[in-house]
Every structure is written in C-alpha cells, then in structure tokens.
Structure 1
Amino acid sequence: MEEPTPRKPPSEIDPRVIMAAERTLLSWMRTGLALMGFGFVVARFGWFLREMASLGGEHAPDPGSSRASLWMGTVLVALGIGVLVGSAARYRHYLRVLHQGDLKLPGPGMGIAVALVLAVLGLVMLASFVSMGLLG
C-alpha cells in the first residue's frame, strides 16, 4: 500500500506557481464577465428589433424574431455565470492539490466546453440573422 503524500508547507511552494494560477483565475473571470456583457448586448438587440417593428417601415423585422435574441443573450449570460463559478472551483481545487504536493495540471475541459458552446451559439445566431434577412 502506498503511503499518502505529505502536505507541503506553504513556504515550500514556489510563489510563482500560485501567482500563475491566480492570473489564470483572473483571465477566466474576464472571460465570464465579457460573456455576460455580450449576452446583455445581444438581449438588448432583441429590444431594438421590437422597437423597429413597432415603428413599421419598409425594412421592419418580424416582432417574433426578437425572442431569439433574448434567448441567445440569456444563454450567454448563463454561460458567463457558469464560467465564473467553474473558474473559482477550478482555482480552489488547484490550490488544494498544490498544497498536497500533487503537481498535476488541470485539464483543458472547461476551455473546450466554453468554446463548443460558443460555436453552437454562434451558428444559431448566424441562422437567426439569415432568417431575419439581416445578412443579405
């Protein structure tokens, strides 16, 4: 049976490693806040479309098309919240294993998941814009 790895005293941990982890946390926080801000803008775009439809006119969009913008904006805000919560949990976990002496790097799972969700959402937005006649 393998003996448990003794905990490293905080004084033995290279402070550059901890600061690098903190910079990574801050980068994820900026990403989450940017997603939330962009989600707000996308949701407000739906409000703009409703206003354009109420004014009427030759190029007024369908009032129902603003619902898609609201949903896409809501998904972006929710994704931003998920990134913030996930990054805090990931940072806490990394510090815990670092103090235990286990220097395994965290996997790329969160970054890949965010990229895939954004790619799918981008395709939905593109299809929505094409169906509204905004791109051609």
Structure 2
Amino acid sequence: MSDLQDPRVLFAAERTLLAWNRTSLGLIAFGFVVERAGLLMQVLQPEQGALVTLSPAFILGLLFILFGGVCAMVSAWQFSRVLNTLNDNEIPPGYRPRWGMLANVIVAILGLSLAAVLLHLHQ
C-alpha cells in the first residue's frame, strides 16, 4: 500500500507502462522486418534452389516478435500490481487507469497472433 497520497505516482506508473508498450511495438515491428528481409534475401538468391523452411532470419524475426509480445504482457501484469498498491487518494475521481493496461494486453495478443500466423505460413 502506498502512503504518498499523490496522483503523480499513478501517472508515473502509467508513463512507464506506455513506454513498455512502445518498446513492445518496436520489437514486434523489428522482428517482422527481419523476418521479411530474410524472405526477400532467399527470393533474390535463385542459385540456392529451394527455399529453406526455417532460415536464421525467420527464426530471429520470430523471436523478436515473441519477445515483444511477452514484454507487453509482462508490463501489463506489472502495472496491475502497481495499481493494487495505490489507495483511493492516488487515483483521480472518474479516471480509469486500466485502459493503458488493456492496450498492452491487446498488443501482446496481436503480437503473439502475428508470430503464429507467420509460423503457419512458413510451413
């Protein structure tokens, strides 16, 4: 339980959550670019014959995407733990702090879904 009685504690935690959201989105986007760049390199090198099913770029890109999704989920979980420590004086009346957490959960679900779709398409 926090004893600061200051709503700035909530807003600082929310800024941290949203920074993690941006980090997660960046990791997912970078992973997608790495995965697609590996596919492009395979297409541009016709002398290698058939496409390799699991290229190093595909695996690395997929790992970045999965890491971004996990970061989004863990940051939402950490934020919920912080919210549970705040008292009523630290949350402004009518303010709904769980919306930022919902955004992170959605980013996590979409990132993990993207990884699943890419894995399915690569088989």
TM-score (norm 2): 0.62
After superposition, the CA RMSD in angstroms is 2.7
Aligned to 1:87: 75
Q: Deviations over 1:9-46 (max 9, x none)?
A: xxx73111100000000000000000000000000011
Question: Which residues of structure 1 form unaligned runs of 5+?
Answer: 1-6, 101-136
Identical positions, percent? 34
Alignment of 1:7-86 (within 5 A): 13-54=5-46, 56=47, 64=52, 67-86=55-74
Higher relative contact order (Cα pairs below 8 Å, separated by 6+ residues):
2
> Structure 1: which 4+ aligned runs deviate by more than 2 Å?
62-66
Q: Deviations over 1:39-91 (max 9, x none)?
A: 0000001111111112x4xxx7x954971100100000000000100010000
Q: How many residues align?
A: 87
Question: Which residues of structure 2 form unaligned runs of 5+?
Answer: 89-123
Rounded Cα–Cα distance in structure 1 between residues aligned with 2:73 and 2:5? 26
Aligned to 2:120: none
> Is the Cα contact below 8 Å between 1:46 and 1:69 reproduced in 2?
yes
Change (3 A) 1:49 1:66: farther
2:67 alignment partner AA: L
Structure with the greater alpha carbon radius of gyration: 1
